[in-house]
Amino acid sequence: MSIKKLFDNMVFNWVLISSIIIVTIITNGFLAMKTIEDLSSTQESLYNTGDVIVELDDLHNLVLMAETGQRGYLLTKIPEYLAPYEDALARLTAQLEDTKKLRSEVPGQGQRIATFILLVEKKITQLKKTVELTHANNEERALRITLTTTSRELSTALRAEISQIKTLEIAYRNSLFLVLSEVEREAKVTFAISAITSTLLLLGLAFFARLNANNETKHRLQLEFQNEVLIEKVAMRTKELTLYSDELSRSNRELEDFAFVASHDLQEPLRKIRAFGDRLNINYSALLDEKGADYINRMGNAAERMSNLINDLLEFSRISTRGKPFIQMSLQEVIDNTLDDLEISIDESNAKIIMDQLPTMNADPSQMHHLFLNLISNAIKFRKVEVTPVINIRYVQEKIAEDLYHIITVEDNGIGFEQTFADKIFLPFQRLHARTEYKGTGIGLAICRRIVERHGGNISATAKQGDGALFRIEIPVNNTLINLIGENVNVQHKG
């Protein structure tokens, strides 16, 4: 049997076991929860009906206590008999409030309780009136009120009403006890079922464990064999990667050697061309006609352009290999320094710079300086004639594909360009204008893109011919891992 088939069988067995366990747990849990809910509901109803009976009894007893004290005082006019009356009245107010909050589960009981409370309030009013009459030495009238048919009917109605309420509540409580007994029997059945299913589940687990143990032995032997084969393949692949890494290091060293040649050996002939051109221009300008002087001037300009191209190429190639580690830096401070460097260009063009409050971010300060130096100087260079340059630098944080990014935009009101060239402008040596119109090597925006990409971000441009351009820079807020990878590449390169 193949390893895949053994693995599939093992997965199937464990899926089956897991399904049985889950179904059993859910079923037992459902039955247990239902039993607990039934018990809880029944007990809550029992507590509630008990509270109704107790509260109504307390209220009725307080009324009887007040009435007893009132009658003793009416018959004897002894002030001591008023003590139970006044005590009962003091407690009746709070007891009435508690009674009004009662919520009986017996149908129609709420109306009966409200009627009983109304009768109690009438009785209290009557008791207070007779006591006040006695205080005013009008005992005969007070006794007449107490002994009237209305007073006796009120007391009878009170007793009848509370008797009916208590009878219904007690009957309901007895029915709840029957329900509670039934729920308890169901609970015993439920727990018995749970015990049986749990026992069967344990037996099933033991059976499948034994079955899987046999399969696992076969599977382990095949896995050990395959593991040995895999170790050999990994060792071979590691060796290949090591060779590739060494080759990459050699390639990086060759690039560094080329950069050294470009910065020294190629620059040296250019310096001589320019030096001899300057000597011809100074020492022999009088002997040259207008065309000869023009040739010398063109030669000097071409040599200068070549030198600038070499320098820009070196800078472009060293963005990754010579970049500094990222640190927490103030972008506001970097751009302020950049504007200081561009002070002369800004004053000459009368440019207006508008900036948002810029953040602190994890980046290479020197490369950020170079990035915004290129973008802002381009915005000044490619301005409209007779129009004051206005450069807006905006900042927001934005979520892109579940990651948080710093979004910086640089927008100008310059000459713009056709949107079809939006990708072309970030390629090296790509120019949209002749050298006679605007100076430059055509590599500045390519350097900008390399800088942003080194920081794990993206740069894009939107524009319209004659209506300005907007450059959008997206740099991840958390680019620590990108920084570590870059440092490792630099270390390997230098090694």
Q: Is residue 149 part of a domain?
A: yes
CATH assignment at residue 123: 1.20.120.1730
Tell me the pLDDT tens digit for each residue of 153-180: 777 787 888 888 888 888 888 887 887 7
How many structural domains is the chain composed of? Answer: 2
- Is residue 473 in some structural domain? yes
**pTM of the predicted model, to two decimals?**
0.44
State residue 493's pLDDT score: 46
Query: Six-digit token pair at 318?
Result: 């060293």
Residue 290 lies in a domain: no
Q: Coil, strand, or helix at residue 471?
A: strand
Q: What is the mean pLDDT of residues 21-26?
A: 72
> Cβ atoms within 10 A of the Cβ of 167, count?
10
409 belongs to a structural domain: yes
For residue 295, being part of any structural domain is answered with no
Assess whether pLDDT exceeds 70 at residue 347.
yes
Q: For the chain, give percent helix, strand, coil, nearest 5.
A: 75, 10, 15
Does 275 fall in a domain?
Answer: no
Q: Do 352 and 210 share a structural domain?
A: no
pLDDT surpasses 90 at 390: yes
Tens digits of residue pLDDT in 105-142 = 888 888 888 888 888 888 777 777 777 666 666 555 55
Residues 81 and 210 both lie in one domain: yes
**Which stretch of DSSP H or E encloses residue 460?**
strand 458-463
Model confidence at 186: pLDDT above 70: yes
Across 20-39, average pLDDT: 71
Domain of 169? 3-215
Asked if residue 143 has pLDDT above 70, the reply is no
Window from 32-41, 295-304, 357-366, 373-382 with minimum mean pLDDT: 32-41
Most confident of 106-110, 285-289, 349-353: 349-353
Domain end (from 215, 248, 276): 215
Angstrom CA distances, 348 to 345, 351, 352, 375, 387, stand at 5, 8, 11, 17, 13
Residue of 60, 77, 58 lying closest to 130 (CA atoms): 77
CA dist., res. 410 & res. 390, Å (int): 10
The CA-atom distances, in angstroms, between 464 and each of 395, 419, 432, 460 are 22, 6, 13, 14
Residue 367's CATH number:
3.30.565.10
Whether residue 78 is contained in a domain is answered as yes
Domain stops at, among 159, 182, 215: 215
Domain closes at, from 215, 238, 257: 215
Residue 208 located in a structural domain: yes
Residue 489 has pLDDT above 50, yes or no: no
d(CA 495, CA 486): 14
pLDDT top residue among 231 and 252: 231
